[in-house]
Amino acid sequence: MYQAQTPKKQVDYTDFHKENTMINLCRGLKLSLIGIAIALIFLIGFLINAFLMDFNISKQSTYLIIAYLFLLIALVLIIASYSIIKKYFRLTCRILRVLSFLPYAIILFWSVFITFINSSPSNIVISYMIGLLIFGTIPLFKPVVSITTIALSFLTYILVPIIFSSFTTLENDYLNPTVFALFAILASLFLYFQKEKDYYERKNIMEENKELYNLNSKLQKKSITDSLTSYYNRHFLESLSEKCNYNIKNNIPVGVLMIDIDNFKDFNDYYNHIEGDRALIKISETIKEVIAPYTDNIFRYGGEEFLVVFFNLSEAEIREIAEDARQAVYNLGIKNPGLRPGANVTISIGGTVTKEHDDRTFEKLIVDADTALYNVKSIGKNNSLFI
């Protein structure tokens, strides 16, 4: 039989672009530090060489000093701008994108000009090719950004000898830059789309894991709660036994209430079980409203019987809570004609609270609370009794 497959959810790529921006920024700042170090090394070398030559330096060396000074200042300004904006202003997405783009763009276009300044038979446009490799393999820009920037740098490489006659392309070398420019474009596209694919798969896995977690949480909650009242069930009560016995042993007060709806069989017989369930839900909600501020350990113990466990409350406090719950149910005004005309549905409550050095177990507390409930129902119901 054919089963329709559940379509994959559309992934929001806003986080993907933010993630790439932060990656580009971190890598760009590190690249800037490396560029600053290289520029300083070259400048110090040029200064030492100039000093040894009594500052009789060539025109080419002057251009190189200016170029490395420009690189140094530009990269320092990028790092300084990031630090100042981060400290005193708000780093918006647009600012982050600009700051993450500038180091790579500056190094790429700087490599174009340094190629012409440092042209020699041994150079073979190596600087520009390194710039292309850096731009194509380190950052993760959108395809349009990568292609446009690399194309503009290549256009600059072509136009510089035309505009500035003092710069000449080494032996009309267009082949190597063309090959490296194409490689840089292909590399940047491959890395970007590979990252996009990984992000898409990762997000889908995260969504599936989230759905599984939610489903497991619902199943786990369903396994320990009563479907009608949303109280915990008796199965979960067993897991509370160890904690209760530990508290009793360490003289931390433990209180147990056993609550039963009076004459509820008469209510069901007069109406029906559907109305009985509705009344049961209303009564359980009312009891929970009273008790919830003090404990969430409320259990459906039987058909119309509930059990409540308190920690670190005195008997006087628990007696008051029990009386408030009893009165709240009575005030609902749910009629029980099966008992007698005009009679309200009521509850009876039996309770017990540990004393100092109490040697009872949690199971014995439940038995004692149940005994107290039996006794209060024997003397008239709609009341509470503690033993």
Domain boundaries, the chain: 14-208, 234-386
Residue 284 has pLDDT above 60, yes or no: yes
pLDDT digit string, tens, across residues 95-107:
999 999 999 999 9
Grouping H, G, I as helix, E, B as strand and the rest as coil, residue 298 is strand
| Superfamily of segment(s) 234-386 | Reverse transcriptase/Diguanylate cyclase domain (3.30.70.270)
Q: Which residue in 179, 159, 177, 176 sits closest to 168, CA to CA?
A: 159
What pLDDT is stored for residue 91 in this prediction? 82
Tokens of residue 117, six digits:
């300044």
User: Given the DSSP bridges, would you call strands 347-353 and 384-386 parallel, antiparallel or unpaired?
Assistant: parallel
CA atoms within a 13 Å half-sphere pointing along the CA-CB vector of 330: 13
DSSP 340-364: STTPBP-EEEEEEE--TT----HHH
What pLDDT is stored for residue 360 in this prediction? 92
Where are the alpha helices (H) located in 54-171, listed in sequence order?
59-88, 93-117, 126-137, 143-163
| Cα torsion 301, 306, 307, 312: sign | positive
Grouping H, G, I as helix, E, B as strand and the rest as coil, residue 210 is helix
Gyration radius of the chain's alpha carbons: 40
- pTM as predicted: 0.59
Residue 9 has pLDDT above 70, yes or no: no
Which residues are part of the catalytic machinery? 304
Residue 169 has pLDDT above 60, yes or no: no
Residue 91's CB is within 10 A of a number of other CB atoms, namely 13
What pLDDT is stored for residue 120 in this prediction? 57
